[in-house]
Amino acid sequence: MTGIEFYVVVLLVYLGTDLLAAWGLNLEYGISGVANLAYIVVIAAGAYTYAILSLGPDSGNGGFQLYVVGWQLPFAVAVIAAAAVGALVGVIIGVTGLKRIRQDYQGMVMLVISLMAVTVVGADTGFLNGQAGLSLIPNPFSSLSPAVGDWAYVAMVALACVIGFFVMRRFTGGPMGRALRAMRDDEHAVAAMGFSVIRLRLMSQAVGGAFGGVSGALLAAFIGGWSPGAWAYVETLALLTAIIVGGMGNDMGVSLGTFVIAVLLLQAVQFLPQISSHTGLTEALGWIILGVLTITFLWVRPQGIFKERRPFYRSPGETERSAPGDSATGRVAAPRA
Amino acid sequence: MPTSSDSGGRETPALAVQNLVAGYGDFAVVDGVSLEVPVGKVVAVAGPNGAGKSTLLKAMLGIARVMSGKVLLDGQDVTSAPLEKLARLGVGYVPQLDDVFDSLKVLENLEMGGYLCNRVERQRRIERVLQVFPQLQAKLHRYAETLSGGERKMTAIARVLMLDPKILVLDEPTASLTPELSRVVLEEQVRPLSAMGTSVLLVEQKAVAALAIADWAYLLVRGRVEVSAPAAEVLSDPNMREIFLGRAAAEVAARSVDAE
Ligand SMILES: Nc1ncnc2c1ncn2[C@@H]1O[C@H](COP(=O)(O)OP(=O)(O)OP(=O)(O)O)[C@@H](O)[C@H]1O
Ligand SMILES: [Mg+2]
């Protein structure tokens, strides 16, 4: 496998896992209106879950890394478990958002959760190997030759995206998406229709969390390692930028935003010439560009590239404009032809 | 008469509040209100801006904070019960503001209203409410955000009718409708509903129009019930009318009643 080929594989896997994550976060933030700035935590939960379930006991390999569980479960089982844990963590995070506080405070709470989670996991070496993180996380295609195995992995991620897309559409397009959007508009009015707002919210957190969990699992299995450095809170901001730039609440927009922001932009900065006196500058530049883009879009085009909806869409058959004073004629009860 | 003193032998009111004190935070807006909505009757609540009418409704529906007192639904204590539970018990509520879902199309708003029933029944009800508001037919695929004030109200009322509520709680349902459409909504929609057994609690600024279809009227001033009387009596007694409507409005009302 040539270097460039491998690079394409990496990009595609990043794109796929970022797509899954962005869809999940969009469900929570764009559709349901929960400002989950701790979204990276569910991704991490999925990654760690996959890692400790698929790795053997930590006493193997000379016990150079310490972690719990180590059951050596098959790939599919570990991924499904990662989805479940992601959902659970998503719900737990979501509970903090149940109290009716303003969305900006909610965002702050989530941010704190995100910081706390990294600190706690990093501090305890016996749990998930602390700051050093886990390595040698099994890849399901490791028995194949690298060339075949890598493309097989890409195909599998693509499959996960296809499945994820249909699952997501159920929640953004159908009656469920309707209820979630309505809840974002007005919780009381949704409750007045007989919906349980708590159930709706937690459900969107669970589904969003499951997406994040799978995303994290697929990423960890591909990279082979996972440590607190991989899930700093800023990672959530990258996804958020993708959503804001692409178009919050719009499936196509979010997908495009992910492609442009999370993949192209963050990769493009890697190609900037390194300045040896300022190592890490290029990476920082990526974040600076992200921040500037977010601010620019929030100022200039808050709805993103793709608007969530087309507000001036007219019903089929609706005339150009109802006659002014139409409703004042008193003929209101007469059915129109 | 819906006062607690002589309720002994009568049937339990559909909805009642007893000595309700309610508001926001520690601030009581509703200050010891008692009120009853008998089964199949229309009860109107009038009062100046800021009197606490909307807050009274919100407190009954578990949205505003109840500090003391009780809310009874069919005699059952539902004080501070969550709104969705009340919806399942047959209470339909149209808020004064935020009355439709902006991000949804009109049709989707109606479908949301039919959440608690099955698909066939939902479709049947959509057809029924479209007969009530035929002008919504042409707007079904418009996002509610783009509707006019009147169309919004129609959508809001249509949406609550989708619930087929036993008890209807309406907070200024005719705000931003033309006088004519207000009359149509009140006389041709709300009134017949009550004839079919629905109990209606109606907060309305257009007091004359509301009183005309109401069985009983309350006047709420600064969080207290100042007057509680049969609506017909309020309309026919010039003094009462004056109190209810304020002097200027009463004169207009007198002219419009005399003209009929
Ligand atoms: N969410 C809130 N928090 C704090 N105070 C509120 C809130 N909503 C209303 N109030 C206050 O409570 C009082 C009563 O308001 P309410 O909306 O019940 O009046 P209203 O009788 O419905 O008036 P209107 O006829 O204008 O609709 C007002 O002084 C208002 O400022
Ligand atoms: Mg009000």
Question: Which structure tokens are listed for B124?
Answer: 């049947």
As a whole number, mean pLDDT of residues B21-42 equals: 93
Q: What is the pLDDT of residue A42?
A: 97
Chain A residues whose beta carbon lies within 8 Å of the beta carbon of residue B150: 327
Q: In degrees to the nearest 10, what's the CA dihedral of A120, A122, A127, A128?
A: 130
Give the β-pairing of B167-171 and B199-203: parallel
CB B72 within 8 A of CB B129: no
Share the mean pLDDT of chain A: 85
Nearest to A261 by CA among A294, A299, A229: A294
Which band of pLDDT confidence, cut at 50, 70 and 90, is reported for residue A60?
confident
- DSSP letter, residue B165: -
Residue A43 pLDDT greater than 80, yes or no: yes
Beta bridge partners of B37: B15
Q: What is the pLDDT of residue B97?
A: 81
As a whole number, mean pLDDT of residues A265-282 equals: 75
Contact call for A196 and B134, based on CB within 8 A: no
* pLDDT digits 0-9 by tens, B43-71: 999 988 889 999 999 999 999 999 999 99
Distance from Cα B225 to the centre of ligand 1, integer Å: 16
Q: What is the pLDDT of residue A210?
A: 97
Phi, psi (deg, nearest 5) at residue B217: -130, 140
At B84 the three-state DSSP class reads helix
pTM: 0.83
Contact call for A315 and B93, based on CB within 8 A: no
Q: What is the pLDDT of residue B258?
A: 56
A285 touches chain B (CB under 8 A): no
Q: Which residue has the higher pLDDT, A331 or B112?
A: B112
Closest chain B residue to A30, measured at CA: B103
Residue B6 distance to chain A (closest CA, Å): 32
* pLDDT digits 0-9 by tens, A109-134: 889 999 999 999 998 878 899 888 89
Q: What is the pLDDT of residue A67?
A: 87
As a whole number, mean pLDDT of residues B213-238 equals: 90
Q: Which residue has the higher pLDDT, B81 or A322?
A: B81
Return the ligand number nearest the Cα of B205: 1
How big is chain B by its Cα radius of gyration, in Å?
Answer: 18
Q: What is the pLDDT of residue A288?
A: 87
Q: What is the pLDDT of residue B6?
A: 46
Stretch among A1-15, A206-220, A280-294, A300-314 having the lowest mean pLDDT? A300-314
How big is chain A by its Cα radius of gyration, in Å?
Answer: 23
Residue A215 pLDDT greater than 80, yes or no: yes
Which band of pLDDT confidence, cut at 50, 70 and 90, is reported for residue A216?
very high
Distance from Cα A56 to the centre of ligand 2, integer Å: 64
Report CA-CA distances (Å) from A7 to A10, A13, A139, A226, B177.
5, 10, 18, 20, 63
Sheet holding B15-24, edge to edge: B27-37, B15-24, B65-73, B76-77
CB B51 within 8 A of CB B244: no
- DSSP letter, residue B188: I
Q: What is the pLDDT of residue B259?
A: 53
Chain B residues whose beta carbon lies within 8 Å of the beta carbon of residue A186: 95, 98, 101
Residue A178 distance to chain B (closest CA, Å): 7
Distance from Cα B51 to the centre of ligand 1, integer Å: 7
Cα of A325 vs its chain's centroid, Å: 48
Which band of pLDDT confidence, cut at 50, 70 and 90, is reported for residue A61?
confident
Q: What is the pLDDT of residue A313?
A: 47
Chain A residues whose beta carbon lies within 8 Å of the beta carbon of residue B82: 191, 196
Contact call for A188 and B84, based on CB within 8 A: no
At B21 the three-state DSSP class reads strand
What ipTM goes with this model?
0.83
Cα B258 from Cα B260, distance rounded (Å): 5
* Residue located nearest, by CA, to atom 3 of ligand 1: B24
Q: Which residue has the higher pLDDT, B202 or A147?
A: B202
The pick from B26, B45, B55, B205 for probing ligand 1's pocket by mutation, whose C-beta has the most ligand atoms within 8 angstroms, reads B55
Residue A321 pLDDT greater than 50, yes or no: no
Nearest to A177 by CA among A92, A96, A244, A251: A251
Which band of pLDDT confidence, cut at 50, 70 and 90, is reported for residue B191?
confident
To test the contact with chain B by mutation, choose from A196, A327, A331, A336 the residue with the greatest count of B C-beta atoms within 10 A, namely: A327
Within 6 A (CB) of ligand 1 lie: B 24, 29, 47, 49-55, 96
Q: What is the pLDDT of residue A271?
A: 74
Cα B250 from Cα B242, distance rounded (Å): 5
**Residue whose entry in the numeric block shows the structure tokens 């594989």:** A9
Which band of pLDDT confidence, cut at 50, 70 and 90, is reported for residue A329?
very low
Cα B138 from Cα A234, distance rounded (Å): 47
Contact call for B137 and A336, based on CB within 8 A: yes
Residue A80 pLDDT greater than 80, yes or no: yes
Cα B161 from Cα A312, distance rounded (Å): 26
Phi, psi (deg, nearest 5) at residue A230: -85, -15
Residue A18 pLDDT greater than 80, yes or no: yes
Share the mean pLDDT of chain B: 86
* pLDDT digits 0-9 by tens, B149-185: 888 888 998 999 999 999 999 999 888 778 887 888 8
What share of chain A in percent tops pLDDT 70?
Answer: 90
Three-state secondary structure string covering chain A: CCHHHHHHHHHHHHHHHHHHHHHHHHHHHHHCCCCCCCHHHHHHHHHHHHHHHHCCCCCCHHHCCCECCCCCCCHHHHHHHHHHHHHHHHHHHHHHCCCCCCHHHHHHHHHHHHHHHHHHHHHCHHHHCHHHCECCCCCCCCCCCHHHHHHHHHHHHHHHHHHHHHHHHHHHCCHHHHHHHHHHHCHHHHHHCCCCHHHHHHHHHHHHHHHHHHHHHHHHHHHCCECHHHHCCHHHHHHHHHHHHHCCCCHHHHHHHHHHHHHHHHHHHHHCCCCCCCCCHHHHHHHHHHHHHHHHHHHHCCCCCCCCCCCCCCCCCCCCCCCCCHHHCCCCCCCCC
Cα B107 from Cα B88, distance rounded (Å): 21
Chain A residues whose beta carbon lies within 8 Å of the beta carbon of residue B139: 315, 318
A100-109, A156-165, A196-205, A298-307, range with greatest mean pLDDT: A156-165
As a whole number, mean pLDDT of residues B29-47 equals: 94
* Domains of chain B, CATH where assigned: 15-259 (3.40.50.300)
